[in-house]
Structure 1
Amino acid sequence: MKENTARLTSLSHGGGLLAGIFLVLLNSLTAPAQQKPPFFSLPDTTVKERVWMLSGTTAVVYGSSLTVLSSAWYKGYSRSSFHFFNDAREWNQMDKAGHIFAAYLEGKYSREMWRWSGLPRKQQIWIGGLSGFAYQSVIEVLDGFSYKWGFSWSDMGANAIGSALLISQELAWDEQRIQLKFSSHPKSYPEGPVREKADQLFGHTFWERTLKDYNAQTYWVSVNLYSFHKNSTWLPRWLNMAVGYGAEGMYGGRDNTWTDAHGQHHDYNQVRRIRQFYLSPDVDFTRIRTRKKGVRVLFQVLNMMKFPAPALEINSQGGVKLHPVYF
């Protein structure tokens, strides 16, 4: 079983790209001298001081977060020689959706950060966009040396998809018309062995459950309608339509059987593991116009989450539900 979503999402703001940093430093050495622009401006040409500042900051955050992860997350688990682990069929691929989302989100914020450097547009895109893939690749290598987990090629493929979605849109449109978002809602479990198993797998606190409980999570592909019809006079700039994916009924990676700490075997395979698909309107906060920089930053943060709205659900058991408000 792999529970990478919690690690990757909680550390998503700490991404950096080591190879990109060296590329940035090399370019900065040849950048011409210039008058310093206002601190919060986005310059049209490379600002060497900003390049060095961003490079140093990302290197420190990148290295320190991985060091903390290596000592904290893997503490208490046996180490092993490097090995592979095939988890492609686990958790109804909810963990893979988490990898795609985390790589996309890390790349998105890193790309936004590098706008401040004034580097040429394509360099910003590639350095920022690949940061999520690079960061998660190192984590995957650490998993490869952990007895409990292992290096997963399907995880790497999911990481690549997330970064590719970010980079391709920036290169083609210089904007994110199709965004990945996340939502989660509290999930209750019946008293007894199921509750104990859920606590073991997903934690006890609100934040642990939010980040770890695959039964409570939904991942969204949110498309901005106006960006594809910019001549429209009636479409709001902020209106998106989102397609979501979730799952429920999962008490283990592959099935609903387990043996507890007392050696007692539990079989809950009568609980069906269901895939859920959603269609719902959404809001792209970054397209709401404002002159206040602080509000724009807030909108960037809010935009990682799906806006609560009515949703149509179709599940793998043929069920159809209309949720008045779904998050």
Structure 2
Amino acid sequence: MKKSLLMLILLLHFLCGEAQKKVSFFSIPDTTTPSHVWILTGTTAALYGASLAALNTAWYKGYPRSSFHFFNDMGEWNQMDKAGHIFSAYFIGKYSREMWRWSGLPRKKQIWIGGLTGFAFQSVVEVLDGFSSEWGFSWGDMGANAIGSGMLVSQELLWNEQRIQLKFSSHPDLYNDPVLRAKTDQLFGESFWERTLKNYNGQTYWLSVNVYSFRKESRLPKWLNIAVGYGADNMLGGRDNTWTDQHGVDQDYSHLKRIRQFYLSPDVDFTKIYTRKKGVKVLFQVLNMIKFPAPTLELNSSGQVKLHALYF
């Protein structure tokens, strides 16, 4: 094992040395650079493994395994989980595609390899769900994964840029009611990161459209986006707000009406802000997955119209 690892390190070192003779290590090559392809392949595999290990700890911990089975969850969580699948497949594919620019492979190969990475990763997660007693393999989830990857790949092939981006925002839910607090702790976890990942009540998913990309003859700022968001609230279970707590007591919170929320808000496309610094460009790419806090108009399924001075 140690000898194999040493040989791999030596091979990568040799390939990197050969690449630097031909092209600057940090530049985007015009032709396929084998050393870059090897490094990206190894990096992708390592990130896959680390991400799946982290997900296994954060998501599946405490739930028993079972034989592989299917599960129809299309009616759960006001479809917020499906929005999460679309976003995750898009987000993983987007940054994988950016990484594969460095390979020098032909443009279409970069797009397909990078763009389908999100779908491949999410498919593995779905198989893990199939072996969990709490969930199951969902064709609805797989469809959502395909939509996310399709959004990424189709825009790259058509425009060679992402004019319509998927973004995410989240805010904590705080309940003074001890029963609600206990239930949400059990469902969504207690830490900030667990609640960010699991709490559908606090999440909003956005379609953020870069206006200038569609009207390049206009004088609009290149960074200005208009975003449409979707969220939900008052969900204490997949399908309803009734449950039996850990003491065997039946809890009925049906009076909390489960609602859908729709948002309209200005946004910022950080990648359209000019800079020569590569580190800042990378930072802008990361920031672009998050919806910029801004004044927001909300319309929800209860018929309420709200204006938020600042919403995230």
Q: Is the shorter-chain TM-score for this pair beyond 0.5, marking a shared fold?
A: yes
- Give the root-mean-square deviation of aligned CA atoms: 1.5
Note the 1:176-255 alignment, pairs <5 A: 176-232=162-218, 234-255=219-240
Point out where structure 2 has 5 or more consecutive residues left out of the alignment. Answer: 1-18
Note the 1:23-34 alignment, pairs <5 A: none
Aligned to 2:87, what secondary structure does the other structure show? helix
* Alignment deviations for residues 11-66 of structure 1 (CA, whole Å, 9 cap, x no partner): xxxxxxxxxxxxxxxxxxxxxx9962111111111011111111122123323433
Aligned to 1:95, what secondary structure does the other structure show? helix
How far residue 74 of structure 1 moved from its aligned partner, in angstroms, is 3.4
- Between the aligned partners of 1:89 and 1:196, the Cα distance in structure 2 is 24
Paired residue for 1:173?
159
Paired residue for 1:105?
91
Letter in 1 for 2:47: V
* Alignment deviations for residues 211-231 of structure 1 (CA, whole Å, 9 cap, x no partner): 221111110000000000111
- Between the aligned partners of 2:108 and 2:164, the Cα distance in structure 1 is 19
Note the 1:276-291 alignment, pairs <5 A: 276-291=261-276
Paired residue for 2:120?
134
Paired residue for 2:33?
47
Letter in 2 for 1:266: Q
Q: Which has the higher contact order (CA 8 A, sep 6+)?
A: 1
How far residue 269 of structure 1 moved from its aligned partner, in angstroms, is 0.6
Paired residue for 1:303?
288
Paired residue for 2:252?
267
Q: Structure 1 pair 71/246, CA: closer, same or farther in 2 (3 Å)?
A: closer
Q: 2:93, 2:152 within 8 Å by CA — same for their partners in 1? A: yes
Paired residue for 2:77?
91
Higher mean C-alpha displacement, 267-276 vs 76-85: 76-85
Q: 2:86, 2:144 within 8 Å by CA — same for their partners in 1? A: yes
* Alignment deviations for residues 140-196 of structure 1 (CA, whole Å, 9 cap, x no partner): 011111111110111111110000000000000000000000001121113221111
* Alignment deviations for residues 196-250 of structure 1 (CA, whole Å, 9 cap, x no partner): 1011111112222222211111100000000001111x20000000000011011
- Between the aligned partners of 2:110 and 2:202, the Cα distance in structure 1 is 35
- Between the aligned partners of 1:287 and 1:220, the Cα distance in structure 2 is 18
Fraction of identical pairs, as percent: 74
Q: 2:32, 2:106 within 8 Å by CA — same for their partners in 1? A: yes
TM-score norm. by structure 2 comes to 0.91
- Between the aligned partners of 1:70 and 1:312, the Cα distance in structure 2 is 37
Where in structure 1 do 4 or more consecutive aligned residues deviate above 4 Å? 67-73
- Between the aligned partners of 1:303 and 1:64, the Cα distance in structure 2 is 23
How far residue 264 of structure 1 moved from its aligned partner, in angstroms, is 0.2
Paired residue for 1:315?
300
Paired residue for 2:60?
74
Letter in 2 for 1:104: Y
Point out where structure 1 has 5 or more consecutive residues left out of the alignment. Answer: 1-32
* Alignment deviations for residues 237-290 of structure 1 (CA, whole Å, 9 cap, x no partner): 000000000110111110000000110000011110010000000000000000
Q: 1:36, 1:47 within 8 Å by CA — same for their partners in 2? A: no
Aligned to 1:116, what secondary structure does the other structure show? helix
- Between the aligned partners of 2:110 and 2:170, the Cα distance in structure 1 is 32
Aligned to 1:107, what secondary structure does the other structure show? helix
Q: Structure 1 pair 182/71, CA: closer, same or farther in 2 (3 Å)?
A: closer
Residue 118 (structure 2) pairs with residue 115 (structure 1): no
- Between the aligned partners of 2:200 and 2:51, the Cα distance in structure 1 is 24
Aligned to 1:148, what secondary structure does the other structure show? coil
